[in-house]
Structure formats: C-alpha cells, structure tokens
Chains A and B, each alone.
Chain A
Amino acid sequence: MLEDIKTLRKAPREEYYVPGHRTCAGCGPALQYRLVAKAAGANTIFIGPTGCMYVANTSYGCGPWAVPWIHAQITNGGAVGSGIEAAYKALIRKHKTDAEFPNVIVMAGDGGSSDIGIQALSGAFYRGHNLLFICYDNESYANTGIQTSPTTPYGAWTTFTPAGPVSPEGKKLFPKDLPKIMSHGHPELKYLATASIAFPVDLMNKVRRGLNAQGPSFLYIHAPCPKGWSFPSEKTVSIAKLAVDTGMFQLYEMTEDRRFKVTYRPKELKPVEEYLKLQGRFKHLRPEHIEKLQNFAQRRMQEVGIEITLLSS
C-alpha cells in the first residue's frame, strides 16, 4: 500500500522523471508526469502512447524516466498496458519471476484517450486489468501542432478551429467529458478521479489511491500547455489554479457507490473570463461566447455537486 502524503514536506524527494527532456519550458504535462512518477515510486512501468509526453521526452534515443518506459501507438495505450499487466500476472502465477507486481501506468494525451485511443482504453477497463490509466489533458492534439481534440473547449483557437468570419468563436463544439464517459460504463472500474497540477499533494494522493485500488483506475489530469494555449511559460500553474477557481475544471473522486465526491470547492468562484483572458487561444471571444462558457462551467459543476456562488467581476 502506498501511504497518503499528508503535507508537501512529506512528499518523496526521489525523482523518477528526471531533468533532461525536450518538453517546452513550463510544460504542464511534464509537471504532472514528474508528480505522478514521484507518487508511484520505483516499482513502476510507464506506457507512453504517441503524443508530446512520448515525442518530446524521447528525442535522440534517450528518455528522462528512471523507471522502465515503453512506447505504444497513439491508438493502443490501453492494450499495451493490458498485455504488460497480464504477462506479469502469468509470470508470477507460474513462478517464473520473483519480481513484485509493478504499478502499470498508461500516460496518454487527451487525443490518445478520449478520441483515437478510446477503444483500447475502454477495452482494458471492460476486461478489468490492474492498471492506472492517466489522461493528461492539454486540451489539444499538441504534438502535431495544436489541432482540436474532443476535449478542446468551446471557443478555443486551434490550427483546425481558427476564428474567422465563418466561425467567429473558433471551435463550435462543446468538449467530451471523459471522466464521465469512464465513470459509469465500466463495471470493473475501481477508482476514478480528476486532478490538477495546481494541487500537487492532492494529485499525488490520487495517483496512490488509484494504484492501491488495484485497478482498473482512471485519473484525469488538467495540464495547461503554454504553447498550445498561448500564454507565457511562467503562468502554467497559475492558469491551472484559475481553471479550478472559475469552475472550468472540477476536482472530484468517484467513491465505490459510484457517486462523485468533490475534493476541492473554490471558496469564492471567479468568473470564467478571468481564466480565459490570460490565454491567447480565447482572445477573439465576444461576450456572447464567454457567456456560453460561463454556462458550460456551471453545468459541469452542478453535475458533480458544486454549489454555485459566482463572484461578480
């Protein structure tokens, strides 16, 4: 059992996602990777479907993981994770190894989990493999140059949803809600939570609870991307915090009775505009678009049971 980390001071000092990777300066997905690896510890195997957390980490035949890591196709992180888990179980059952069963963690982007990789993810959870599947959500297909993904928010600029005369708001569709897709359709699911890089202790504890639950466990981590969202690199953590404080991202866990338990309630909810205005990808939005996003945040909060008291700007 991995113990809960009570305070920041009690967080492990050991790093398993070490310095030396080509992710952009201030990369949110890189920060969550470091936190996940720290929380999981030495007996871990990472599976990395194609995306920034594969490509930008493995340039020129090397990688920053102090633990085993294997590449999977963008489509099949869930399948490769299933295979590794099943192989370990078989080797242990047949006494062909005296290794301790490892933490099997799939680290997939939002494209590799909510879109092109969703069949392998769903299959692994249906079959009930003991693994932790993490979707780090940078809200785009970032690695190929910021194309829209199903989790890209309404109103965001991407190279596939440019704002212009035909579509003044940029992206017209509202995003898929991946944790809700995962939460109720997979009977074998053992644990599910959302997390944010602005809440590092909470994030690390959710990793540990997901691993302790002996999976399949699902973690959805909000990870701002300075390049794709157009904001200065030092703002990554502040923007992640604002996403939670405006209700654009909600922090919760799913308990065994399949109910959502909110793990952090903003004391004073800020208007979504405060979150949007720091990011270049939303700079074309007009008041009527911002209002739609405000309503969107309120709907999402209501769904998980966050009461709404909006602080006016």
Chain B
Amino acid sequence: MSFKEVPFAGTVPSPKRENEGMVTGNWRTKRPVLDKDKCTDCLICWISCPDACIDQSTTGLAFNLKYCKGCGICAEVCPSNAITNVPELDYAD
C-alpha cells in the first residue's frame, strides 16, 4: 500500500468567510452601536477587532452580530467616541 492510499486523518474543509461551527455572538453581554454622525471612517476599530466582526459596507461600518463577542475593543480604540456599548438586555432579539 502506498502512502497515497492512506486516508488523511482529521481533515476538515477551510471556511471561506465565517466558521459556522463556532458561532460566538451569543457570548455577548454588550452590543457595539455606531453613531454614524460621529464616525470619521478612520478604520481603527475595523483593524482592531480580534474577531473580524466589523464590515466595511457601502453604507458605512456594520457589526457582524452573529460572531461579535462584545469585547468592547472597538469602542475603546475609537478616537471619536462614535461607538457605544449597549447592554444586550436592552434588546428584544
């Protein structure tokens, strides 16, 4: 038997845009909320999110709440105070 016939153990496909096997949005106790009027589009929050949960869309920045863990880094690093952490219990969803 050649090595080519040995099945590759523990191999899984790579995700493309998100890893649906580990949805983390339900960890969040505080939700980042953007005040578009204050945002200068400097992108410091975008580059500082460990979970790649800030998307640059055509209408401005958008948080990916399916995965955002609510760490608060984006609000902390924003030089314009454009992001507020709002308790999740304030939301119905």
Could you list which residues of chain A lie within 8 angstroms of chain B, going by C-beta atoms?
8-9, 11, 13, 15, 17-23, 25-28, 30-31, 34-35, 59-69, 197, 200-201, 232-238
Contact = CB atoms under 8 A, between A and B. Distances in A.
A66 B14 contact: yes
A60 B71 contact: no
B73 A234 contact: yes
B47 A26 contact: no
A19 B14 contact: no
28 contacts: A9-B43, A18-B17, A19-B19, A19-B24, A19-B64, A20-B20, A20-B21, A22-B22, A22-B24, A23-B50, A31-B49, A31-B50, A34-B52, A59-B22, A60-B22, A61-B10, A61-B12, A63-B15, A64-B19, A65-B15, A66-B14, A66-B15, A68-B14, A233-B73, A234-B76, A237-B48, A237-B73, A238-B76
Contacts of B67: 19-20
**Contact residues of B: prevailing secondary structure:** loop
Given A8-B43, A30-B51, A66-B16, A61 B21 contact: yes
Given A31-B49, A66-B16, 19 more contacts: A8-B47, A20-B22, A25-B27, A27-B50, A31-B73, A34-B49, A59-B22, A62-B12, A62-B21, A62-B22, A66-B15, A66-B17, A233-B69, A233-B71, A234-B71, A234-B72, A234-B73, A235-B76, A238-B76
Contacts of A62: 12, 15, 19-22
Interface string B22-64: 1110010000000000000011100111111100100000001
A-B CB proximity, top 3 nearest: A20-B19, A234-B72, A62-B21
Given A8-B47, A11-B47, A20 B18 contact: yes
A69 B70 CA distance: 27
A19 B66 contact: yes
A15 B55 CA distance: 11
B86 interface: no
Contacts of A63: 12, 14-15, 19
Given A62-B15, A63-B14, A238-B77, A18 B52 contact: yes
A56 B65 CA distance: 20
A72 B41 CA distance: 40
Interface residues of B, number: 37
Contacts of A28: 50
A17 B52 contact: yes
Given A63-B14, A234-B72, A237-B77, A200 B22 contact: no
Contacts of B69: 25-26, 233
Given A21-B51, A62-B12, A234 B75 contact: yes
A116 to B, nearest CB: 22
A14 to B, nearest CB: 10
Given A21-B19, A35-B47, A200-B48, A26 B71 contact: yes
A27 B69 CA distance: 11
B24 A26 contact: no
Which of A8, A20, A62, A66: most chain B Cβ within 10 A?
A20
Contacts of B10: 61
Contact of B24 (A17, A21, A60, A67): A21
Nearest to B70: A25
A169 B12 CA distance: 46
Nearest to B66: A19
A260 B62 CA distance: 41
